[in-house]
Structure 1
Amino acid sequence: MQSDNSIIKEIFKGLSFSNEEIKIIESVFFKEVYKKGTVLLKAGDYVDKQYYILEGCLRSYHIDNHGREYTVQFGIKDWWMSDYTAFFSTSKAIMNIEVLKNATLYRLTKEHKEYLYTKIPRIESFFRKKLERAFAAFQERILSSLSQPASKRYINFIKTYPNIEKSIKNYHIASYLGITTESLSRIRKELSIN
């Protein structure tokens, strides 16, 4: 990572670091720039990286045995992304990650993350709190998918991902919501009338 305290402050909001700690962090974070359409991860890959999104938009999705895509998450500015099932275990990836809008990312490997935990212990607390919030959000998303009508899920999507619709295709949104693109169009029409 090139020396830029502002990026470190952005990634680790709320934490402050000594110059020595900043050098440690810079030694393990790597800036990567990707074009729209790049696939960062494919199902079946070994996963030892996670990405902090500085700019752009990513999508994680699963493809079932019939070739149907299920969008699980969109990654936008200030979000972290990986296939966490594989990242936290020894299993292979079950997700694919695609760049939907040109992206600037900071890559952190599992090994380097553990290194940061030992060198700067408060970073472990930072990541634990991030994971707790992410777990709660995923649980809410599951409950929403099971119990709410599609129009309510769409409204929640817009709240979670404001302004993202300009960057992604309708079928990505529909697959995230678990509906068809025709249903998405109908919902948008109904909501614009009200």
Structure 2
Amino acid sequence: MNPYAIFVNSFLNVSEETFNKLANISTYKKFEKGFQIDSSGEVPGKIYLLTSGIVRAYLSSEEGKEFNKSFFMAYSFVGSLTALIKKQPSKLTYETLTECKVYELSFDEITKLCREDITISNLYNKILESIFIKYEERQLEFISMNATERYLKLRRRIPEVDDLIPQYHIASYLSITPVQLSRIRKKIGRN
């Protein structure tokens, strides 16, 4: 079975007909490393199913400092959901950290299909629930774990994180400095 179909069915089992409706509104694309899928200040219209590579979502301060909010790995949805739903400019930028392969979907076409097809509407709801759960888990990490625990959890989620993502991006994601991350790595290495 197609990995895209397996991923979709991990949320809700859908018929081949329903899957084909989604496939018909998606476009396969390949992005080079450093490509901005969505940019801060722009109103997005697309959501992406990432099938390979790594994408980061980050916020830029007025001084130009970047704060990493999320890292996305293969088989996850990428896009500024709040901006898509509210049809307003995104506060986040989504940038590829590696070469990425995606299926691009028009958010308007998805919501139109949701109104026409109860299965697609149910699938959309399951995906939103999954996104909310991940968001809540991330919030809980910050109030219940120290930086070392957050780093170790990130390494469990992305085992090769240190080879794939620059140290300063990892440190920003953990809300620590690169120096603090170096100390954590050194301490872990000794244990």
Shift of 1:22: 4.2
Query: For residue 83 of structure 1, what is the aligned residue in structure 2?
Result: 80
Shift of 1:138: 1.5
Query: In 2, Cα distance between the equivalents of 1:148 and 1:9?
Result: 35
* Residue segments in structure 2 that go unaligned for 5+ positions in a row: none
Give the TM-score normalised by the residue count of structure 1.
0.89
- The farther-off stretch of 135-144 and 175-184 is 135-144
Query: For residue 5 of structure 2, what is the aligned residue in structure 1?
Result: 9
Q: Does 1:190 align with 2:187?
A: yes
> Kindly tell me: are residues 139 and 44 of structure 1, through their superposed partners in 2, closer, same or farther at Cα, counting changes over 3 Å?
same
Query: In 2, Cα distance between the equivalents of 1:76 and 1:192?
Result: 25
Identical residues among aligned pairs (%): 26
Query: In 1, Cα distance between the equivalents of 2:96 and 2:56?
Result: 7
Query: For residue 138 of structure 1, what is the aligned residue in structure 2?
Result: 135
Query: In 2, Cα distance between the equivalents of 1:47 and 1:172?
Result: 24
Residue pair 2:29, 2:103 contacting (<8 A) in 1 also? yes
Query: For residue 93 of structure 2, what is the aligned residue in structure 1?
Result: 96
Residue pair 1:11, 1:52 contacting (<8 A) in 2 also? no
| Structure 1 residue corresponding to 2:46, chosen from 44, 49, 52 | 49
Alignment RMSD: 1.8
Residue pair 1:47, 1:86 contacting (<8 A) in 2 also? yes
Query: In 2, Cα distance between the equivalents of 1:76 and 1:58?
Result: 7
* Residue segments in structure 1 that go unaligned for 5+ positions in a row: none
SS at match of 1:9: helix
> Kindly tell me: are residues 31 and 11 of structure 1, through their superposed partners in 2, closer, same or farther at Cα, counting changes over 3 Å?
farther
Deviations 1:55-108 (A, max 9, x none): 111111000122111101111111111112211112211000111110110011
SS at match of 1:88: helix
Residue identity in the other structure for 1:62: L
Shift of 1:32: 0.7
Query: In 1, Cα distance between the equivalents of 2:153 and 2:65?
Result: 23
SS at match of 2:189: helix
